[in-house]
A and B are shown apart, each in its own frame.
Chain A
Amino acid sequence: MRKRRKVDLRAMPGASANAIDERFQVARPLRGLFNKVFPDHWSFLLGEIALFSFIVLLLTGTFLTLFFDPSMEEVVYNGSYAPLRGVPMSRAYESTLELSFDVRGGLIMRQMHHWAALLFMAAILIHMFRIFFTGAFRKPRELNWVIGILLFWLGFTEGFAGYSLPDDGLSGTGLRIAHAIMLSIPVAGSWVASSIFGGEFPGNGVFLPRAYILHVLLVPGILLALIGIHVGLVFKQMHTQWPGPGRTNRNVVGERMFPRYAIKQGGFFMLVFAVVALMGGLFSINPIWLFGPYEAAVVSAASQPDWYVMFLDGSTRLFPPWEIRALGYTVPPLFWPTVVLPGILTMLAVAYPFWEARKTKDNRPHNLLQRPRDVPVRTALGAMAITFYIVLTISGGNDVVAETFDISLNAMTWAGRVGLFVLPPLGYYVAYRACLGLQQHDREVLAHGVETGIIRRLPDGRFIEVHQPLSPVDDHGHPTELPYSGWVVPKKMNRLGALGPAIRGFFYPIERPAEAPVSPGHPPVTSERPRDQLEDAGRSS
C-alpha cells in the first residue's frame, strides 16, 4: 500500500511562497512594488480610464475575432435581418450582420467594443489636457508626452481600421475619402493609394484583410508595448504631485499602493467597465444594417467618421477650393487639411515641452505640478488649441448642426472658416485674463484673509467685510502677508469661523456648523443664534 502524502492546506501559501522565492528572489522587489507611494488626486485617474477601456477593448475584441470574417468575397445574404435578405454583399459585412443578429450576445459585444473605443480616445484627450495644463510633461517626462501623442495616433488608426472592417456604407465612404487623401499626396500619392488598396479604388479586395491584421495584431501589439513603456515610465520616475504641505520636488506624498490605492483602482476599473457595459446595452451605436453594404454609388447625408476623426473632416469641409496646378502636376485641395494640418499639429504638440523649456529657460527637473492659473501663457495657449480643435470637430458635423437647428449649410461653412481664425485668439485672451484674475484673488486672500460674508459697521459709519485671517495678526488686527506656495488657497471659512454656513462639499456639506467645535470645552455654535445675543457677544469682546 502506498503511503498517502499528507496535504496541509494551511501551510500551502507558505510553501508556495517559499518555492517562488527560492527560484526568483521576489521578496524585495515585491515589497518595493507593494509599498510604492502614489499621490491622491482625482485628475490623476483620467489616464486610467484610457487604460481600463483598452482592457475592455481587448476582451470584447477577442470575442469579435472569433466570428468576424475579413473577406471581400461576394455573397448573398440570407440571415435573420429581413430588410437585407437577397442583397449581395461582402462576407465581411455578412459576418458582422451575423454577429449582430445570429450570435447570442453578439450585438452587445459589438456595441461595447465600439463604445469602449470612443471612450478610449476621449480619455486620451482629457488625460492629455490634464498633463498639459498642469505641466506634467516637463523634464524628465518629455518622452512620456511624446509616447502619449503616438498613442493618440495609434488609437486613431486602430479605430479607423476597426470601424472600416464591416465594409458597410458609412465606413466604406470613409475609406473612399481615405483613398482620396492618399491620392492627394504629391509625387507618390497615386502609388501609395494603389499599393495600399491593391489597385484603383476599391482595389482587388486585399485592403480588408490588411486592415484586419493591422487592427487585431500589429497595432494592438505596438499599443501594448507603448502603453507598457508609458506606465512603466510613470512607475520608474514616480508620479508627479501637487504642491502642498510636506510636498517637495524630491518626494512623493500619498499612500502606499497596497492595499488601499490598488483597491480603489480595482473599483475604478469595475466602474469604467460598467459605463461601457451600460452604454453598450442601452445605446445603439453603428447600426450597420441600416447603412447597407458599401456601394460606390450610394451615400447618405450626415456621413461622418467617428468623433475622434471628425476634426479632420471639419478641416476638409472648411478648406477653401484652392488647388495648385503647375507644369502638368496638381496638388489637390484635400492634401492640406488632411495631411499637412495633422502633421503640423503633431509636430507642434511633440515639440511643445522642448519649446517651453527653451522659452522659460527652465532645464530643471520638475516633479511638482503647476496650477493652470499660475502659468497663464501655457493655459491660454492650451485654451486656444482646444478652441481650434472644437471648431474643427463641430465643423465636421456641420451638416447635422445645420439640419438640427435650421441653419443654412453654407452659413455653417462660412462660420467655421471665420470662427477658426477668430475664436482661438479670443479663447487665448479670455483664458489668459481668467488666469490672471484667479491669481489675483489668491493673492488677495493671502494678504487679507478669507471673506466671511459678515458685514460690520464701524462706529464712524463705514461698512467693512470681516475677514478671517490666515496668518498671525499684528497689533492693528491686520494679518501678515503670506507667500503663495503654488497650492489652493482656502477661500471659505474653516472650523475657526464656525459662525459661517456649512462648508460645501461636492454633493453634501463636509462640515455642519453644529458639529464644528470652536475650541475644546466650548459648546458647539449653531448658526441660528438670535441677533441680540450676537450683538451682546460683539460688545463684550
Chain B
Amino acid sequence: MTSDNPAGGEERACEPRSSGQASSAGGEERACEPRSSGQASSAERRGDRRRGLRARLGRAAGGTRGASGPPSRARRRLGSIVRMAAALALAGGVYSAFAPGLATAQDTPPLSGAAEEGKALFDTSCISCHGRNAQGVEDRGPSLIGVGAAAVEFQVTSGRMPMARQEAQAWRKPPQFTDDEARQLAQYIQEMGGGPEIPSGPLTPQGDDADALAHGGELYRLNCASCHTYGGGGGALSSGKSAPPLDNATERQIYAAMLSGPQNMPVFGDSQLTPDEKKQVVAYVQTLQHDQEPGGWHLGRIGPVTEGLAIFLVGVTALVFATLWIAGKS
C-alpha cells in the first residue's frame, strides 16, 4: 500500500518485497509493510505550524498533546487505518509465504527465448482459465500439460483462444495474437508439458503424385466428412456444439487440428494418420477451398436443403410472377 501525501511530510512509504518475479495483472498481493508508525517527524518540533498528519489530527481533535486521556476521534481513525494495514500486510505476507507458486517458480528449469516470450503472453492472457502453470482451473479451462505446440497454434491462430465466454463451442474469430506470438505461446506450452508439434517443411504432398489428391479425398470422406460435410461446410454436433466450416483454415491449422484433436474433434495421431496422409488430407481440403465449381454457383455446398430453398425462392417465385403477368386477375 502506497500512500500519496501531497503535503509532503510524513509518508507511509511502502516497498514491495523483492521476489524476483515480474509484476502480474491481478491475483497476487504485493505484501507491503509500512514503516512503523511511531516515528516522529521533524515537523512536530516546530510547533503549531506543524503540517504533519498527526499534528493536523491533533489540532483537529482540539490540540490535545500527549494523549493521556481517551484517544481523539481522529487518532482512533488513524489507529484503525494503521491496524487495517498491518492486518492486510500480515495476511498477504502469510499467503505469499505459503503460496506454492512463489516457491516452485524458483525451481523451474530455464525456458528458451521464444518460450519466455510465450510465457509473458500466457501470464497476461491465459492463466485465468488455464492456471498459473497451465495445469487447468476446475470448471474453467483444461490442463495444457501435454497438449503440445500444435494444439496451441491451432487454437490461437484461429482466434478461438482466448475464448470469449464459457460455452459449448469455441468459435473462430479474429486472432488476438500475431502468428509469431502464437508460436511463442506454443513453444512455451511445448516446453512446459510436451506434446505433438507441427512438423517443419511443406504441409502438402510434394512432387507429382497424382494419387495423393485422390487418397486425400478418400481419407477425408472416411474420417472428416461425417462432421465437416463432404464440401467442408461444417456440421452440427450435439447440444450446441459444431464442427466448423473449413473454408478459412490454413495449412498449419488443418494439420494441427488433426494432430491435436481440438475440443470434440477426435485425435488423429501420427501412427493413425501418418504425416504423409495428413498432408494428403490438407491438399484435399485445399481443393475444396479453392477449386471452382464447374456447374455454376454452389449455393453454399450445403446440399438438398439449399437446393430446395432455391427452387422455391428463385424458380417458383419467378414463374408465379410470370403467371401474374400472363393472365389477368379477372
Contacts and interface: CB of A to CB of B under 8 A. Distances in A.
User: Does chain A touch chain B in the assembled complex, meaning CB atoms less than 8 Å apart?
Assistant: yes
Nearest to B298: A284
Contacts of B218: 87, 292
A376 interface: no
B230 interface: yes
Given A85-B210, A275-B319, A302-B305, A410 B239 contact: yes
A380 interface: no
Interface residues of B, number: 64
Contacts of B240: 407-411
A118 B319 CA distance: 14
B327 A301 contact: no
Contacts of A407: 240
B211 interface: yes
Nearest to B312: A122
Given A82-B210, A86-B211, A298-B221, A285 B315 contact: no
Given A170-B303, A290-B230, A41 B294 contact: no
Interface string B268-309: 000000000000000010011000011111110111110111
A370 B235 CA distance: 46
B315 A275 contact: yes
Interface string A40-68: 11111110010000000000000000000
A379 interface: no
B102 interface: no
B65 interface: no
Contact of A44 (B228, B287, B327): B327
Centre residue among A43, A83, A268, A411 by max chain B CB count within 10 A: A83
Nearest to A292: B221
A87 B315 contact: no
Contacts of B329: 41-42
Interface string B214-255: 111110011001111111011111111011000000000000
Given A85-B211, A268-B326, A292-B221, A301 B228 contact: yes
A402 B236 contact: yes
Contact of A302 (B216, B233, B330): B233
Contacts of A84: 214, 217
B310 A292 contact: no
Centre residue among A282, A302, A409 by max chain B CB count within 10 A: A302
Nearest to A291: B230
A350 to B, nearest CB: 25
B69 interface: no
A352 interface: no
Contacts of B225: 169, 298-301
A281 interface: yes
Interface in A287-305: 287, 290-292, 295, 297-305
A87 B294 CA distance: 21
Contact of A307 (B210, B216, B237, B311): B311
Interface string A396-427: 11011011101111110000000000000000
B235 A284 contact: no
Given A43-B323, A283-B299, A301-B235, A115 B315 contact: yes
Interface in A95-148: 100-101, 107-108, 111, 115, 118-119, 122-123, 126
B316 A126 contact: yes
Centre residue among B226, B299, B304, B308 by max chain A CB count within 10 A: B304
A283 B297 contact: yes
Contacts of B228: 301
Contacts of A287: 231, 293, 295, 298, 301
B228 to A, nearest CB: 7
A306 interface: yes
A122 B307 CA distance: 12
Nearest to A306: B304
B230 A122 contact: no
Given A41-B330, A83-B287, A400-B302, A111 B214 contact: no
A122 B315 contact: yes
Nearest to B218: A87
B230 A115 contact: no
Interface string A341-380: 0000000000000000000000000000000000000000
A40 B328 CA distance: 6
Centre residue among B211, B230, B237 by max chain A CB count within 10 A: B230
A397 B229 CA distance: 14
Given A170-B303, A301-B227, A307 B214 contact: no
A42 B326 contact: yes
Nearest to A264: B326
Nearest to B235: A301
Given A301-B227, A307-B305, 18 more contacts: A41-B329, A42-B326, A83-B214, A85-B211, A85-B214, A86-B210, A115-B315, A267-B326, A268-B322, A283-B314, A284-B298, A285-B299, A287-B293, A295-B221, A304-B305, A306-B307, A399-B236, A408-B240
15 contacts: A41-B328, A49-B316, A85-B211, A85-B213, A85-B214, A118-B315, A279-B311, A281-B295, A287-B301, A301-B226, A301-B229, A304-B304, A306-B307, A408-B168, A409-B237
Nearest 5 CB-CB pairings of A with B: A307-B308, A301-B235, A284-B295, A408-B240, A402-B236
